[in-house]
Amino acid sequence: MAVGKVINNILINDSGVQTFFTNNGGGSPRVLPIIFPDPSKTLPETVTPSILYEINNTEPTLVKGQTSPVDVFQVSVTVLNDSYAQSQELSTLVRTALDNFSGVNSSVNVDNIYFIDEDDNFIQNVHEGQSGIFVVEQLYKIRVKQ
């Protein structure tokens, strides 16, 4: 399923996210379809600011004798930044772009995207000379019509 393409496309094309990266990241939005990096490994200096997404699970709608007419995907969207204030700002922009979205995007018929939860974290000593990275993880459910 192309749910990852939907998340990527919405965030890369959102004017608020684009403006944030232009002003704070020096270029196009970095929206990456990867699992959150292992904090025990050294991350590249260019990792922040970034937005990562991961599809955690898929719940089909069970209908006897038919394929699922609607699948529900649980997706984690993670914001990484060197600054707490900027991580909060970017996570707010991400939520504004994704929450309550519906329509066709990347040839996927999205019934709706809805926000579920958010957690803030801090990873210390990621880079030499850097205090750490602020992490905001958001959880969404995405209903997709087949």
Structural domain spans, the chain: 3-36+47-58+68-79+93-145
Encoded tokens for 7: 């998340």
Region 113-133: what's the mean pLDDT?
83
Sequence-separated contacts (24+) of 25-33 with Cβ below 8 Å: 25/49, 31/7, 33/4, 33/7, 33/8
The yes-or-no verdict on residue 40 having pLDDT over 70 is no
Q: What is the pLDDT of residue 92?
A: 98
> Which has more confidence, 139 or 49?
139
Region 27-56: what's the mean pLDDT?
73
Q: What is the pLDDT of residue 1?
A: 60
91-107 pLDDT, tens digit per residue, is: 999 999 999 999 999 99
Region 73-99: what's the mean pLDDT?
95
Distance between CA atoms of residues 69 and 146, nearest Å: 5
Distance between CA atoms of residues 21 and 101, nearest Å: 21
Q: What is the pLDDT of residue 27?
A: 82
The yes-or-no verdict on residue 43 having pLDDT over 60 is no
Q: What is the DSSP string of 113-134?
A: EEEEEEEEEEEE--STT--EEE
Q: What is the pLDDT of residue 133?
A: 86
Which pTM was predicted?
0.87
Q: What is the pLDDT of residue 45?
A: 55
The CATH number given to 3-36+47-58+68-79+93-145 is 3.30.2000
Of 62, 58, 16, 32, the residue nearest 142 (C-alpha)? 58
pLDDT interval class at 78 (50, 70, 90)? very high
Distance between CA atoms of residues 143 and 50, nearest Å: 25
